């Protein structure tokens, strides 16, 4: 009962705050901005090209100077919320253990950035990156920060290169404080 009361109290505060804010803002301008923020555009359509099933050849580098580990994986991307987002479900092996992960990516009309949100079965944290699309190189370039299992912050950079409608390459670079290193490369081929 206490939880319901607290929830109701918070909801009332939010509604009063929104009403006070709305009185200070031109309602027509607010409705127009809201409409623009929820409209899918060419960036969402471009991400929609990822929808389908893909096979991946995975190369991982655990430490500089050490040989990479190779494995295979699959991902199935689907469109959610009328094409506003793309959700990918990954499966494969990592370090000789079953691996599964989920990504939600999209384009934020208000912030004018592409983004990717990632979770997987090898941790309880998240990774969030933002970036832009470079038309010349046909790449999505993301950057962000995550926290490793020891609590250390790591800078992350991701590059997704669209080769053609059936092939793409994903690269991940990590910097744990001693310089950036390539940690992963996945070459994807669309399943026929």
Range of the domain at 33: 2-37
CATH of residue 178's domain is 2.40.128.20
Q: Are residues 147 and 178 in the same domain?
A: yes
CB 99 within 8 A of CB 120: yes
46 and 33 fall within a common domain: no
86 and 153 co-located in one domain: yes
Residue 20 has pLDDT above 60, yes or no: no
> What's the whole-model pTM score?
0.82
Q: At residue 116, does pLDDT exceed 80? A: yes
Give 131-147 pLDDT, tens digit per residue. 999 999 999 999 999 98
pLDDT of residue 56: 96
- In a shared domain, residues 52 and 9: no
Together in a domain, 49 and 21: no
- Name the phi and psi angles at 99, rounded to 5: -130, 135
Whether 77 and 155 map to the same domain: the answer is: yes
Q: Indicate whether 32 and 51 sit together in one domain.
A: no
Q: Which two tokens mark 79? A: 């469109």
- Work out the number of other CB atoms within 10 angstroms of the CB of residue 99: 16
Shared domain for 29 and 104, answered yes or no, is no
Instruction: Based on the fold, state whether residues 112 and 185 are members of the same structural domain.
Output: yes
Q: How many domains does the chain have?
A: 2
Encode pLDDT of 47-69 as tens digits.
Answer: 999 999 999 999 999 887 889 99
If asked whether residues 85 and 176 sit together in one domain, one would say yes
Reply yes or no on whether the pLDDT at 178 is more than 90.
no
């Amino acid at each position: 009962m206490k939880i319901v009361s607290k929830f109701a109290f918070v909801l009332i505060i939010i509604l009063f705050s929104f009403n006070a804010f709305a009185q200070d803002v031109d309602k027509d301008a607010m409705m127009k901005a809201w409409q623009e923020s929820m409209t899918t555009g060419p960036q969402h359509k471009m991400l929609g090209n990822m929808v389908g099933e893909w096979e991946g050849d995975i190369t991982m580098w655990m430490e500089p100077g050490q040989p990479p580990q190779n494995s295979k994986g699959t991902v199935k991307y689907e469109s959610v919320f009328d094409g506003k987002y793309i959700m990918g479900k990954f499966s494969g092996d990592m370090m000789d253990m079953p691996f599964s992960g989920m990504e939600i990516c999209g384009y934020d009309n208000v912030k004018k950035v592409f983004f990717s949100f990632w979770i997987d079965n090898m941790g309880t944290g998240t990774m969030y990156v933002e970036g832009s699309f470079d038309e010349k190189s046909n790449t999505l370039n993301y950057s962000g920060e995550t926290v490793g299992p020891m609590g250390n912050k790591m800078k992350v950079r991701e590059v997704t290169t669209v080769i053609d409608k059936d092939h793409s390459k994903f690269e991940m670079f990590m910097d744990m404080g001693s310089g950036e290193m390539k940690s992963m490369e996945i070459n994807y081929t669309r399943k026929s």
